[in-house]
Amino acid sequence: MSKIDIISMENLPGVAALEKRLGVSRRDFLKLCSGIAATLGLPSTAAAEIAQAVASPAKRPSVIWLHFQECTGCSESLLRAEHPTLDRLILDVISLDYHETLFAAAGHQAEAARKAAMEANKGKYLLVVEGAIPTKDGGIYCKIGGQTAIEMVKECAAGAAAVVAIGSCASWGGMPSTGPNPTGSSSVGEVLGKPVVTIPGCPPNPYNFLATVVNYLTFGKLPAVDQLGRPLFAYSRLVHENCERRAHFDAGRFALEFGDAGHRQGWCLYKLGCKGPETYANCPVIGFNDVGEVSWPVGCGHPCIGCTEKGIGFAKPIHALAELKSVQPPLGYPKVDEPRGVGATIASAAAVAALAGAATAATYNLTKNLGKNIAVEGDKPESKERAES
C-alpha cells in the first residue's frame, strides 16, 4: 500500500478517534487492517472498508459466547493476541454481551443479561460456541442455569445471524468425543443439524477468529469456507506445505528420536509422527502469541498432532505415520535440456526400459523406507543398533 493510500485512509471518518479510543496509533491500526485484507485474500482497496467498518462504533455487532465441554483454551488464546491487544480492539469492535469466563455478572444476573441481549439483537447477533456438546442421556452431563447445553445452544442459535464454532471441541467434538466418549460429545453443527462456520484447533490461532469476525463486520457475511465449514483463508493448505522443515522432508532428512542428531538440527519430524502432511491449517504461517513463526508445535520441535482434523487429532496415535495426501518425496528431477522430436531407436528403447526398471526399484525402496528408522550420523551407537534391528 502506498503512502498516499495510508494518508487517505487516516482521514476516513472515525479513524481519527481510534488513537484515543483504542490506545493505538492510526498508522498501526491501518497496517493491521491491511494485514487482515491480505490474509483474507482481498485486494488492498478492501483495507479502507475494513478500517471504516471497525472504526464505526455504530456497527458493533452483539456477540453471545457460550462455553460447554472444553478447557477454555480458546478464550485464553484469544486474550493473548497482540498488535493491538484484543481487550483494546476486539472487545471494543464487538459488543461481547455474554461470556461466562469474562463476565463480571454471575448466576441469575448473567443469564438475564444473555436473554436481554438476545431479545434486543434478535436476528443480528453473532453466536460463538466454545466446547463440545454432550448428547447422551438427554444431555444431562453439561447444564448451565438449569438448561442443558443442547437446550441452550438451540435457543441461542434460533435468533442468531450466524453461528461460529471456535476450537476443535465445538468444530468436530475434539478431545471430549474420543472413544469411548461416555457423554456422547458432539459438534455444534451435529447438534443444530445445519452447517456452521468452524475454526478448529486446540487452541485455534486467535487471528483466524479475528479475521472471520472482521469479514462479517465489514461485508455483512462470513468468509468463504470449505466442505467442513472452515474459512478457506486459514484452512485451505496443508500444514506440510508451509512448514519450515519441508526442505528436509524433500531431501530425505528425518529425525528418528527426540534429541537425536537430526532432531537437534531441525530435520523433518515425519517419522516421529508429524501429521502435517494430512492436516489443513495455517499454523506455520502466522504462529502463536506474536513471538514469531517458530511459536507453534513443529517450530518448537514437537510433531503436529492434527488437532484441526476429525479422525486425526486425539484419535490417531501421536507416533503413527501421517497419510501423504498431496506430497511425496521426489525420486528424481528431469533434465533441463530434454530432447524433443527424436524418434525412438532400439538402443534408446532399451535404455528407457532399463531406467524404468531402476525407477520401479527406487519407488519400492522409498516406500519401504519411509516408515523405517535409519539412524543418522552422530547418533549414539546403541541408537543405531536399535534402528538396524
CATH number of the domain within which 78 lies: 3.40.50.700
Enumerate residues 6+ apart whose C-beta is below 8 A from 249.
Answer: 240, 243, 268, 270, 327, 329
**Residue 354 and residue 273 in one domain:** yes
Domain holding 211, by residue range, is 60-235
Mean pLDDT by groups of 10 residues along the chain of 389 residues: 48 60 71 76 75 66 93 90 66 81 87 94 94 97 95 96 96 95 97 95 91 85 93 95 92 92 95 96 87 83 96 93 78 49 56 63 57 52 44
Task: Report yes or no on 191 lying in a domain.
Answer: yes
Q: What is the pLDDT of residue 15?
A: 61
CATH number of the domain within which 335 lies: 4.10.480.10
Identify which of 352, 220, 206 has the alpha carbon closest to the alpha carbon of residue 289: 206
**Residue 266 and residue 225 in one domain:** no
* Grid cell of 259 as nine digits: 534429541
Q: What is the pLDDT of residue 132?
A: 98
- The vertex-330 CA angle with 381 and 367, nearest 5°, equals 60
Q: What is the pLDDT of residue 36?
A: 77
Task: Report yes or no on 54 lying in a domain.
Answer: no
> Contact 198/229 with Cβ under 8 angstroms?
yes
Q: Which domain-ending residue is among 235, 264, 296?
A: 235
Task: Report yes or no on 15 lying in a domain.
Answer: no
Task: Report yes or no on 34 lying in a domain.
Answer: no
> Contact 84/23 with Cβ under 8 angstroms?
yes
What is the distance between the alpha carbons of residues 183 and 177, in angstroms, rounded to a whole number?
8
Q: What is the pLDDT of residue 335?
A: 45
- Helix, strand, coil % over all residues of the chain, rounded to 5: 45, 10, 45
> Contact 127/156 with Cβ under 8 angstroms?
yes
Residue 200, φ and ψ in degrees, nearest 5: -75, 165
Identify which of 105, 96, 115 has the alpha carbon closest to the alpha carbon of residue 158: 115
* Grid cell of 257 as nine digits: 528420536
Task: Report yes or no on 31 lying in a domain.
Answer: no
Q: Look at residue 347 and give its three-state secondary structure.
A: helix
How many CA atoms does the CB half-sphere of 76 hold within 13 Å? 6
Q: What is the pLDDT of residue 289?
A: 79
Q: Which domain-ending residue is among 207, 235, 263?
A: 235
Task: Report yes or no on 324 lying in a domain.
Answer: yes
Domain count, the chain: 2
Q: What is the pLDDT of residue 385?
A: 45
**Residue 279 and residue 191 in one domain:** no
Q: Look at residue 307 and give its three-state secondary structure.
A: coil
